Structure 1
Amino acid sequence: MLIYTSILVYNQSIIGVNYWDIFVYLQNAMLFAHMNIGSQLSVPPILSLIVSIPFTLGLVSELTLFIVSGIFFIFLIIGIYLLFNVRYDERLAFLGSLFFSMLSLVVTWAVSGSNDLPSLTFAVWSLLFTIYMIEYSRFNYIYLAFMCFVCAFFTRFTEGFVLIIILGYLIMNRDKFIKICTKVKLRNFIVFVCIIGSVICAVYLIKQGTIPFISQFLEVSKSSQVSSVNIGYELNPYYYLENIPQLLTTLNSSLTYDITLTSVFNKPTILSYIILALSGIGIVLMFYPLCKNVSKYSKSDKIVLLICMILFVLLIITYTHITYLVSELIFLVAVLLLYEKLPYKFKQLDILMLLWMGVFILMHSYHPVKVDRYIVATFIPIIYFMIKTITKIPHKNIKTPTIILLILLIILLPINASYMASLTHPNEHTTDEKNTANWLKEYDPNYMNENLASDRGVAFSWYLKKYTYTSIPRVLEANNQTIDEALESINSTYYIDSTSNLTDIKGYHIIYNSNNTQQEIKIYQKN
C-alpha cells in the first residue's frame, strides 16, 4: 500500500488540483497555519487542520495535501482489511481490501485532497473500534470509536451517518454492551461526550457566531433549499444506481472528464458487471435461508416478516416524497426487525454492511446535488458481498475462494493501470490558471493591496496567496444581480474570468487573454 499510494501521490502531483472544494481545504489549512488568505470555515475543518501542521513548517504546497491524503488512504485500506477480517480469513480480507483500493472511482479521489476518503477512513475505524469493544469486552474502546466518529463527522459532515450503523450494531449486541458497561463507566463516557460537544460548539460560536453543521444538516434534509445553479444539481433518484458500473471499473477516463470532473461518461468494463452480479448474489444469499424456511415459521414470526415487508414497501412508496431521515428510520427498523425477531440468525457483519449500503445510498440519492465521489462509501459493502458470493461457490479446496478473488484482482490490475495512465496528465485549464496568476503577479507587483475577484475565486486565492472574492455571473443572475454591480460593491480592481466566457464587463477592460481556443481565461482591469 505504501508503494501503491506513493504512485498515486506522484500521479496526483502531475494532475494538480482542479476541484473547487480542494482549494477551500488548502485555504483553510493556511488560515490554521496563521497565513490567512480568507477561508470558508463552514466546511468541515479536520483535513485542513491536519494539513496546516506541515504548512507551519514551511511545506506550503499542493503536494503536502496529496501526501496527507495518501496517509489517510493507507489507513483506510488497513481499516477495510481489518473490517473484512471480522468475517473472512486473512487472505480474503487482504485481497478484498486491495481490490477496493484499485476501483476506478477510488483511484480518482484517493489522494486528490478531497475529504471523502479521509472521512471514510475515520468512519471505518469508528465502526471497527465499536466491534472490538464488544468482541473483546473492553468498554474503553468506545472512546476511540467516539473520537473517530467525531473526526469522521468533522472531516465530512455526511459521513456522520455512520452513527446509524454503529447504533444498529450496539442494538444487536445490547446484552453484551450492558454486561461490560457499568453505571460509572457510562456516566464518565456521557460526561466526556458532553465536554467534547460543548468545546466544539463553543469554538464555533466564538469564532463564527453560529454552528454551521446544524444548518448544513437541515439543508441536506430539505433538498428544496438547494439551487439548480449548483453544478451537481441532479434530481434523478436513480443517478448512482444507473451510473455505478462506470464508477467501479473503466479503462479510460472520458475526454470530458477534465471539464466536468464526472466519471459517468466513462465506459465500464465487463468486470464492473461481474462485481455487481456477485455482490447482488451475495445479498440474495443473505436472505435465501430466511425465505427458504418460511413455512416452518410460527404465526408470530410470519407476522413480523409481514411487517418487515410492509415497511420495505412503504420505504419504496414514500422515498423522495418525504424527508430521507424518515426513510433512513424505516430502513433501520425493518432491518433490525429481521435480525431480532426471526428465528434465522443473520451474520452481524452482513447486517452492518447492508445497513451501510442502504443508509448512504438513500441519503445521497435523495439529495439533489449528486457528485460521483459521494457514493464511494458504498463500495465497501459492494466488495464485501462480492466476497460473500465467492465463498459460497461450491469448492472442495479451502483455497478456491482465495484463488477466484486473486484472479479477479489480477484482471483488475491492468484496468487499474490503464485508468491511472489516462488520468495522469496536467489539466490544461489548471495550467492556464497558474500562468494567469503568475502573469498578474508580474503585471502588478502591488496586487496584494488591491481587491480581486474571479468566478474561480478559491483557485486564484490559492495561486496568488491573496484572498480573491468569488463572483460567478450565473449565480449572481439567479439572485438578480449583475457582475458589474457585484464588482462595484467590493471595489474590485481586477476580475479574472476563468470559466464564464464573458465578452464584456461594464467599467472594465481586458488586459490579459490566455488565447486558449477551448476555454479562454481573461483578466479585466477597472477603467
Structure 2
Amino acid sequence: MAILLWNNRDLASMTGLREKVLFILLSILMVATFGRVSFVVSEIILLLWALSVARMAGDRENTDMNLAMAVWFLSYLFMHSFHPVKVDRYLITVMPAVAYGISLSIRETAGIIRWKHASDVLSALVALLMLTSAINYLAGMPDSYGIVEAEKEAAAWLMEHDPAYSERIIASDRGPAFTWYLGKYVFTRKMHPDRMELCIEYFRDLNPDYYIYWTDETPLPSGYRVIYSRRGVAVAERMNMTG
C-alpha cells in the first residue's frame, strides 16, 4: 500500500484545491471517528473517501479495481473491529481482496527493484511464507477439544429433553456454536460483569425459554432454573415456561 501511494504521489500536484481539501477532510474524519461511532457510519465515510480518491485519480489505469479492493479490505477491517465475535474462518470473506493486494504489492515492488527475476523471487517468498504459516497453524490444532464435546453433549441432551426445541427461543453465551449444534438460530446473550445492567436488560427483552451457558464464565439471570449441568456447560429453563 505504501509503495502504491508513493508511485501515485503526483496526484497531489495534478488535482485542484477542492479535491485536495475534500480528500484531506475525509481522511481525517475516517481516522478520527473510527471506533467512536457506528461501524455503518465508518463504512459510509470510507465509501466517500474512496470516491474522493477516484475523482482525484481520474482515468488512471486500474484505479477502479484498486479502490474496490481497498474498500473491500477496509470495510471488512472496520466491521470486524466492532464485531464482538471473531473466528478464524471469517477471514475467507476478505481473501480475494488480500490476494489482490499481495499480487499488486509484488508487481509494484518488482517495478521499483528493476530486476527481471524480482517478481519470481518475491512470489516464491510470499508462497513460502503462506505455506509455513498454514503448516504452523495446522500443527497447533488440538486433536480433541473439550469445549466442543461438552457443548455437543448439552445440545444433544436438550434436543432429547424437549422435542419441540426448534419452536423455543434459545439463548447462549456462545450463540453461533449452539446454532450449529442445534440446527436452529440461537441468540447470543453473554453477561459481562462491567456491563451487567445493560446485559440483563438485553436478556429480558429476548426472554428466552432456554439459556445455555458456561457456568464458570457467565452468571445465571434470576427467573431461571438449571435443568442440566455437566462438564462446565449448563442448560437453564425459564421458570414460568409453559409446554
Unaligned runs of 5+ in 2: none
Q: 1:514 to 1:314 in 2, by over 3 A?
A: same
Any conservation in 1 of the 2:70–2:97 contact (CA below 8 Å)?
yes
Distance 1:511 1:481 in 2: 23
User: Are the equivalent residues in 2 in contact too, given 1:328–1:359 (CA < 8 A)?
Assistant: no
1:309 aligns with 2:20: yes
Question: Matches of 1:437 and 1:349 in 2, distance apart?
Answer: 51
2:191 and 2:200 in contact (8 A); partners too: no
2:123 aligns with one of 405, 408, 411 = 405
Supply the RMSD in Å over aligned alpha carbons. Answer: 4.1
Contact 1:282 1:388 in 2 (8 A): no
The share of aligned pairs that are identical, in percent, is 18
Post-superposition offset of 1:424 = 5.8
Offset from partner CA, 1:363-421 (integer Å, 9 cap, x none): 753887245747655413421332223431222x4x44223322332343222211232
**Contact 1:497 1:522 (C-alpha < 8 Å) held by counterparts:** yes
Counterpart CA distance in 1 for 2:97 and 2:124 is 22
- Which runs of no fewer than 5 residues in structure 1 stay unpaired? 1-278, 295-300, 341-345
Counterpart Cα distance in 2 of 1:407 and 1:523: 50
Match of 1:339 in 2: 58
Conservation of the 8 A alpha-carbon contact between 2:176 and 2:188:
no
After TM superposition, the structure 1 = structure 2 runs for residues 37-186 of structure 1, keeping only pairs within 5 Å, are none
1:281-360 superposed matches below 5 A: 281-285=3-7, 287=8, 290=10, 301=14, 304-319=15-30, 323-324=41-42, 325-340=44-59, 346=60, 348-358=61-71, 360=73
One-letter amino acid of the structure 2 residue matched with residue 380 of structure 1: A
| Change over 3 Å in CA distance of 1:526–1:478 after alignment to 2 | closer
The residue that corresponds to 2:170 in the other structure is 453
Instruction: Tell me the amino acid that sits aligned with residue 189 of structure 2.
Output: I
Render the CA deviation track for 1:21-58: whole Å, top value 9, x for unaligned: xxxxxxxxxxxxxxxxxxxxxxxxxxxxxxxxxxxxxx
In structure 1, C-alpha distance between the alignment counterparts of 2:51 and 2:230, rounded to whole Å:
54
Match of 1:361 in 2: 74
Q: Could you tell me which amino acid in structure 2 is paired with residue 502 of structure 1?
A: P
Give the whole-Å Cα distance in 2 for the aligned partners of 1:458 and 1:316: 35
- How many aligned residue pairs are there? 217
Label 1:419 to 1:479 Cα distance change in 2 as closer, same or farther (>3 A): closer
Counterpart amino acid of residue 349 in structure 1: N
Bigger relative contact order (CA 8 A; separation at least 6): 1
1:239-277 deviation digits (Å, cap 9, x = unpaired): xxxxxxxxxxxxxxxxxxxxxxxxxxxxxxxxxxxxxxx
Q: Match for residue 419 of structure 1?
A: 137
Distance 2:175 2:11 in 1: 57
Residue 521 (structure 1) aligns with: 233
How has the CA–CA distance of structure 1 residues 502 and 448 changed in structure 2, closer, same or farther, with 3 Å as cutoff? same
Q: Counterparts of 1:512 and 1:462 in 2: how far apart (Å)?
A: 19
Q: What is the 5 A alignment of 1:238-249?
A: none
Give the structure-1-normalised TM-score: 0.34
Map residues 163-312 of structure 1 onto 2, 5 A cutoff: 279-285=1-7, 287=8, 290=10, 301=14, 304-312=15-23
CA contact (8 A) 1:433 1:521 kept: yes
Contact 1:454 1:498 in 2 (8 A): no
Find the counterpart in structure 2 of residue 383 from structure 1: 102
Q: For residue 401 of structure 1, what is the amino acid of its counterpart?
A: S
Q: Distance in 2 between matches of 1:420 and 1:409?
A: 17
What is the distance in 1 between the residues matched to 2:129 and 2:185? Answer: 47
1: distance between equivalents of 2:29 and 2:202?
Answer: 41
Shift in alpha-carbon separation, 1:437–1:353, aligned structure 2, 3 A: same
338 and 421 in structure 1: CA distance in 2 versus 1, 3 angstrom threshold: same
Q: Counting strand residues as a fraction of each chain, which structure ranks higher?
A: 2
Query: In the alignment, is the contact (CA less than 8 A) between 2:171 and 2:187 conserved in 1?
Result: yes
Per the TM alignment, residue 506 of structure 1 is displaced from its structure 2 partner at its CA by 3.4
**Alpha-carbon displacement from aligned partner over 1:138-171 (angstroms, at most 9, x marks no partner):** xxxxxxxxxxxxxxxxxxxxxxxxxxxxxxxxxx
The letter for the 2-side match of 1:353 is N
Distance 1:360 1:411 in 2: 20
Q: Secondary structure at the match of 2:140?
A: helix
Aligned letter for 1:523?
A: V
**Relative to structure 1, is the Cα distance of residues 318 and 420 closer, same or farther in structure 2, using a 3 angstrom cutoff?**
same
Question: 1:353–1:384: 8 Å Cα contact kept in structure 2?
Answer: no
Q: Does 1:502 align with 2:219?
A: yes
